[in-house]
Structure 1
Amino acid sequence: MNDVDWKDFQIGGENGVFSITSSTSEIDKNKLNQKPGKIPYVTRSELNNGIDLFITKDQDEKYQINKGNVITIGLDTQTVFYQSINFYTGQNIQILEHKKMTKNIACFLIPLLKEQMEKFNWGGNGATLKRLKNTRIMLPVNNLGEIDFEHMENTGRKMYKESHEYLSEYILQKHNRLAEELQNLDILTLEDRDWLPFSLDDLFPKLQRGKRLTIANQVAGHTPYISSTALNNGVDSFIGNKNNVRTSAQDITIANSGSVGNAFYHPYNYVASDHVHSLNNDKYNKHHYLFIVTLLNRLQDKYHFNYEINEHRLKNDKLMLPVNDEGNLDLDFMENYMKQMELRQLGKIKGYLV
């Protein structure tokens, strides 16, 4: 894009490029008719294109559905997504639209919008609709000095095509390798094995709480910092602290407060906060951990804000797990069961992409 001229434009407002308005629906989740449907309910979440769930049109008539082919912006969370079809939203969602908007142009614009929104914070320079409208953005222009929508369309299409091809090839190779590995294995079901209770103390020889690290003492970096959030695999931020922190890798964390009971598998090095416990067993691989973490998450029903997890309670908790003919934990079954489940999911994704 070095051979393209660029010019700064005001994003919104009277002299702005785009129309930016508040959502016409803004439904609190507790006021939703949550009957499953096909209409996206978009929130300020950073996950799943901002979509929390899919609902029907059977909502209070005072909430008007938003038209698709627009970009949604969560100001306070700095989330920016393209919505191709009509949708409802939660609160504090802004709608950015333009008559020439397409999926490919949105693909081009979203990284530029995110970059500009990084200046917003929770302090005196917090995110507001007025500040967003007055923000300026660099866009490509043609020989007449006008916004070059054709260039954005072509570049966005190329970006999407390259990403799609890369992802398709990755999924295809992963699916084929796993299919070849499992080709001689019978389909496994959970009824194929007997199940017995195992204490977490027996399952995890290494079970320890993370270490407190205040926000003021956190240094920006690239290592995931795991805390008690129920989102983003428990990753609260990325830090660079090396001293006076508790690190772990290739294991499970479970939140002992906050979103108590939420458990995640981490196939990477991380720093554990004091709001989580790390559960580790050198004998387990990725598939063993994924099998166990699903059952571990059921402890959320047992614990709550007034009955938090501590090490004593955690060690004495028990999980029902499959056993072999000798009554021992059947690690082979757990691994192969999860591999077959992964293969089924990869097959669905492959069918969508290819």
Structure 2
Amino acid sequence: MTDKIWKKFKLCDEFSFVNFKPLHAVNIQTNEVFGIPYVTRTKINNGIDGYINPESIEKKYLNPGKAISFGAETGKMFYQPVKFVAGNKMYGIYNDNLTELTAPFVIAILTNGLKDSGFEYGYGMIPERIKHRKLPFPVDSFGKIDWKYMAQFINNLSCNLPLFPVTKNHIKNSLELSDRSWHLFTVCKIVDVHSGRDYPKIQRSKGVTPYVGSSSKTNGVTDNIKTNELTPNNFAKAVVSVARNGSVGYSFYHPYFAYFSGDVRYIESSHLNIYTGLFLTQAIMSQKSQFAYGFKLGTERLKNLKISLPIDDDCNPDWNFMEKYIRSLPNSDLL
């Protein structure tokens, strides 16, 4: 890049800045798999804090894709290639030349150029505070921003990155949930529910064993611990966790050996594998709006929770169909 000519441009002369209309988290129900991306001030997962059923979104909350999103306090920028819904204090940057190749280059320029501007909680990075800034961009022979150069630069970088596997499954070949009959089941009638056990952080030491706590991120894993003779015996494998506290109602499948803290409950069943486990987590999370920090999902409430599941000819949970359904979805062949 040292042999390239660079020139400073006022941001508002080259980009459009948008204040997104917020859809607050308390007014929606998200899932971890399907729907319209819900973009918030989180610093991870490309700014996506779950997905929303498209049928439940008013058009006024939908934002066009091909945007760089950022939050007021965190200032973390991400490229959003498709339509999305924004949370509170979210803003966007648009230019017709933004693509999956040019946007990373632009984000790097913006992040580096604004990093020492003093933005923090109480003094957020909002459009009015940055759009008049002048930052350097590579230019072409006409003195314009060289979008082709940026795209080629990122493309060359990506060619040297390891390739990730691509799914062979197609959404058009996925099974239909509407083809099945469904029934409400009380959780304790179909699986075994176990309580987690507190293990204070001051007593823990760093290791490699996953520690499952109350989190809606990273599959519920909040730490990695080293086990010893003083570690409480509260380990399990091939189970589904359910947060009782904090991120109440979030549920994850754990194919690995893990410790389950007092902030979670975990479910065991001979029917559980990675496919049926993932199906069950969604059935449980569809009920999480009933609970909150002041109304926790403890052991007894989880045992008596009613969830909707597809049934077989004997009116029992159709575990075979649940597995086949998850297997039919895009990316399931990569599990």
Normalised by the shorter chain, which TM-score bucket? 0.5 to 0.7
Tell me the SS of whatever aligns to 1:292: helix
User: Unmatched 5+ residue regions in structure 1?
Assistant: 180-186, 350-354
Matched, 1:27 2:22: yes
Shift of 1:146: 10
Deviations 1:207-261 (A, max 9, x none): 23143445x88888876554334455435x4x34325576544321111123333
Matched, 1:346 2:335: no
Do the aligned partners of residues 339 and 78 (structure 1) sit closer, same or farther apart at CA in structure 2, a change above 3 Å counting? farther
Tell me the SS of whatever aligns to 2:265: strand
The answer as to whether partners of 1:40 and 1:52 remain within 8 angstroms in 2 is: yes
2:299 corresponding residue in structure 1: 311
Tell me the SS of whatever aligns to 1:346: coil
Do the aligned partners of residues 148 and 234 (structure 1) sit closer, same or farther apart at CA in structure 2, a change above 3 Å counting? same
2:267 corresponding residue in structure 1: 279
1:71 corresponding residue in structure 2: 68
> Identity of counterpart residues, as a percentage?
22
The answer as to whether partners of 1:19 and 1:96 remain within 8 angstroms in 2 is: yes
Match for residue 253 of structure 2 among 226, 246, 265: 265
Amino acid at match of 2:71: G
Counterpart-to-counterpart distance in 2, 1:296 and 1:262: 8
Let me know the Cα RMSD of the aligned residues: 6.0
Matched, 1:252 2:240: yes
Shift of 1:308: 2.4
Amino acid at match of 1:258: G
Tell me the SS of whatever aligns to 1:5: coil
Amino acid at match of 1:106: A
Higher relative contact order (CA 8 A, sep 6+): 2
2:153 corresponding residue in structure 1: 155
Counterpart-to-counterpart distance in 2, 1:324 and 1:199: 19
Do the aligned partners of residues 341 and 133 (structure 1) sit closer, same or farther apart at CA in structure 2, a change above 3 Å counting? same
Greater per-residue helix proportion: 1
Tell me the SS of whatever aligns to 1:199: helix
Shift of 1:136: 12
Do the aligned partners of residues 316 and 40 (structure 1) sit closer, same or farther apart at CA in structure 2, a change above 3 Å counting? closer
2:32 corresponding residue in structure 1: none
Shift of 1:302: 5.4
After superposition, where does 1:191-340 map in structure 2 within 5 Å? Answer: 191=181, 199=188, 203-204=191-192, 207-214=194-201, 225-231=211-217, 233-235=219-221, 237=222, 239-243=223-227, 244=231, 247-281=235-269, 284-297=272-285, 300=288, 303-315=291-303, 333-334=318-319, 336-340=320-324
User: Unmatched 5+ residue regions in structure 2?
Assistant: 30-34
The answer as to whether partners of 1:197 and 1:321 remain within 8 angstroms in 2 is: no
TM-score by structure 1 length?
0.58
Tell me the SS of whatever aligns to 2:101: helix
1:43 corresponding residue in structure 2: 40
Do the aligned partners of residues 241 and 89 (structure 1) sit closer, same or farther apart at CA in structure 2, a change above 3 Å counting? same
